Amino acid sequence: MIGPGITKISNSEPLRAPATLQVDVIADLACPWSYLGKRRLDNALSSVHGPSIVTWYPYQVNPDMPAAGMAFEEYLATKFGDPSTLEPALEQLKGAGNIEGIDFRFDLITHVPNTLDAHRLMNLAESQRIDTSYLADLILKAFFSAGQDISDAEVLTEIAAEAGLGHNEVLTTLKDDRSRNIVLSQEAQVRQSGVVGVPDFLVNKRLFVVGAQRTENLVNVFDRAMFGAESDLPTSATLH
């Protein structure tokens, strides 16, 4: 991120621990742009020469989605009208996904889920110090590349097992009203902060990046956040 040059440090200069980059990710787990943004974030973070902390915050693109979800074709027709008009946009998403190593298989998707339980799984992983970015990738891949129903408890337990969470632990959490209330409270705070779409990235609690920005744009924001350069990007209040 800083360049290939090597800086010489004299013996009289104390060594300082590298600053930590913090990225708060606001995303939905059935949003194709969130998947693209997540992969671009991963690529940007790979160029950071120092520690980084990534925290995920829930946002439901369709908060009024029935708990049982909706048939994919019905969803497209309800939200966008004639589904055939979306073909160019879906092809564009597939092309963008290929660049980032994402295999969008919209032909396998038959069901659009309510994503609340998937966000609750992410919250459980956070509390157990499981890698939430890895888990998010598993959930997104299950939906977009395999057409799985990520609102189904058994599907979520299988995904969770791959990330290191126990079957009974997941099922207990998904039956717990406290878990539901925590996630809904977090989402309410996100919306109250002014977020109206995803993905978004809050970098070092001060630089707010909207949308699935290109990797190089994210790297540039990281530089500004880490090294004090002035930014013309909007600032945002801290999300808790």
DSSP codes joined into one string, 181-238: HHHHHHHHHHHHTT--SS-EEEETTTEEEESS--HHHHHHHHHHHHH-----SPP-PP
Contact predicate 27/199, CB 8 Å: yes
Task: Tell which CATH architecture fits domain 21-227.
Answer: 3-Layer(aba) Sandwich (3.40)
**Location of structure tokens 């997941």:** 170
Quick one: which H or E segment has residue 74? helix 72-80
Q: Report how far residue 197's alpha carbon sits from residue 218's, in angstroms, rounded to the nearest whole number.
A: 18
Tell me the mean pLDDT per 10 residues along the chain, length 240: 32 55 98 98 92 97 96 92 87 97 97 98 97 98 98 97 96 95 98 96 96 96 81 40
Compute CA 128 distance to the chain's CA centroid, rounded to the nearest angstrom.
18
* pTM of the entire predicted model: 0.87
Q: Is the peptide bond between 4 and the residue preceding it cis, with omega within 30 degrees of 0?
A: no
Q: What is the pLDDT of residue 18?
A: 61
Give the span between the Cα atoms of 150 and 119, in whole angstroms: 10
Give the β-pairing of 111-112 and 200-203.
unpaired
